[in-house]
Amino acid sequence: MLDPDVSVTRPDQAFNLDPCVSVSSLVTRQKAAAAKQLIENHYKNYLQGL
């Protein structure tokens, strides 16, 4: 039985996929971009060594 005091999010409101809404901070996005570049460079160097 559902507790009437607990609010349930409607499925259409569960995820806001609007690109204008930023969930991460600028620093987080910069760190993610740096990590992505590091991984890509490591992968390229690995392939060159094969």
Show the tokens assigned to 20: 């204008």
> By C-alpha distance, which of 47, 28, 26, 25 is closest to 36?
28
Average pLDDT over residues 26-35: 96
Helix (H, G, I), strand (E, B) or coil at 33: helix
Q: Is 3 left (phi over 0), alpha (psi -120 to 50) or beta?
A: beta
Instruction: Quote the mean pLDDT of the chain.
Output: 78
Average pLDDT over residues 30-46: 97
Name residue, tokens 């409101």. 13
Question: pLDDT at position 12, please?
Answer: 54
Question: pLDDT at position 19, please?
Answer: 57
Residue 26 has pLDDT above 60, yes or no: yes
Please state, for a pLDDT cut of 90, what percent of the chain lies above it.
48
